[in-house]
Structure 1
Amino acid sequence: MRSDEEALDTRLGARLAELRARHGWSLGELAERSGVSRSTLSRAERAEVSPTAAQLNRLCQVYGRTMSQLLSEVEAAPAALVRAADQRTWQDPGSGFVRRSVSPPHAGLRGELVEGRLAPGADIAYDRPPVAGLEQHLWVLDGALEVTDADQVHHLDTGDCLRMRVFGPTRFRCAGPVETRYALAVVRP
């Protein structure tokens, strides 16, 4: 499993370097635009570190992509069907967030389905959406989740569903003593 994660980190790092080069930005310019430190960007491009969810979100915003789009760009050719055992997961060990791409990845599609899992006490804050106006439908499958969209706080329990169009900061927090599992349908504007 670790070799798969390392291979994904290597492909992701190469893609991040390619996107930066395509825009003609230095590491310093990208750091200013994204708010991610120059050293972290450099280490991520060389696959020495795996960026956190918040860092990837900032980079996606700069490049006008969702996280799933970026991750799908480092995958093999898209498939129409992805078996559960083959669905890619990505983990942010610092926050206790695990993200599983449920939908077959394809950069050209506007919609995608993601499963998120947050460990008890996990708290993820995004300072901006990867794409302004991103539509999200969040359905809590197990546990309790507190979602903050701009200044509005929503407390969700198992079975609750929240629809939001994201323009500003958001925050996802596991609000209970057990892991929270949710489905997130994301639709680009």
Structure 2
Amino acid sequence: MSNIVDPLVARIAARVRSERERRRWTLARLADASGVSQAMISRIERGESSPTAVVLGKLSAAFQLSVASLLALAEGAQDDGTAGTAGVHREADAAEWRDPATGYRRRQITDPQFPAEIAEIHLPPGARVPYPAAAFAFVRQVVWVLDGHLTFHDGDAVHELGRGDTIELGEPTARVFANTTDTGCRYAVILARGARP
């Protein structure tokens, strides 16, 4: 087994640990708040395990952050001092996070300091990614389907979204992003932050 840690996994590890430590939470407290085991949180914080989208959803909900915010903060943690500067961002230079369970891929389009967070998501055929309601607290969010078909569960409502369709998310509720087709789906998430604790 290789000792090389993916740089993005290392940044996610550092972000989860710093969010926990900023709140002065123990591993046990975060485990209680998130429903993720202490052992799994410990492996994530050490960079030994890449969290799935579902686990990230539970952790971000416990922190009262959106998944997009948690990942954007990790993806935007650049060492070269260029985060937040104006200019061109090349696709080839963007960090892409891949969910090890579903193959879901996410690329941050804007820096964390930009007033709106924009991310591009690739959801492979058959993938289903659920998030708890708390992962949508303190944000306003729009989902915009760029290619393919997205089955979006918004609480009890189910929306079938095709290319060009958008949905503005209302009050926080449990949500599921699903691709029930045999072709990939690509969508953008546009998020504006609201008040947070």
TM > 0.5 between the two?
Answer: yes
Tell me how far 1:143 sits from its aligned partner.
0.8
The Cα shift of 1:119 comes to 0.7
The alignment status of 1:28 with 2:28, answered yes or no, reads yes
Q: Could you tell me which of 92, 95, 119 is aligned with 2:102?
A: 95
Cα deviation for residue 29 of structure 1 reads 1.1
Secondary structure, counterpart of 1:51 in structure 2: coil
Instruction: Write the distance in 2 (CA, Å) between the matches of 1:154 and 1:65.
Output: 24
Q: In 2, Cα distance between the equivalents of 1:47 and 1:124?
A: 22
Pairwise CA distance, 1:110: 4.1
- The 5 Å alignment of 1:32-43 reads 32-43=32-43
> What 5-or-longer segments of structure 2 have no aligned partner?
none
Which of the residues 155, 160, 177 maps onto 2:182? 177
Note closer, same or farther for the CA distance 1:187–1:31 as it changes in structure 2 (3 Å cut): same
> How far off is 1:43 after superposition?
0.4
TM-score scaled by length of structure 1: 0.88
Is the contact between residue 50 and residue 100 of structure 2 (CA under 8 Å) also seen in structure 1?
no
- Kindly provide the amino acid, as one letter, of the partner of residue 64 in structure 1: Q
Moved over 6 A (4+): 2-5
Q: 1:85 aligns with which of 89, 92, 98?
A: 92
Aligned-pair RMSD on alpha carbons?
2.2
Q: 1:64/1:159 Cα in 2 relative to 1: closer, same or farther (>3 Å)?
A: same
| Secondary structure at the counterpart of residue 16 of structure 2 | helix
Match of 2:151 in 1: 146
Secondary structure at the counterpart of residue 50 of structure 2: coil
Q: Quick check: which one's strand share is greater? A: 1
What residue is the counterpart of 1:51 in the other structure?
51
Q: How many residues align?
A: 186
* 1:15 equivalent in structure 2: 15
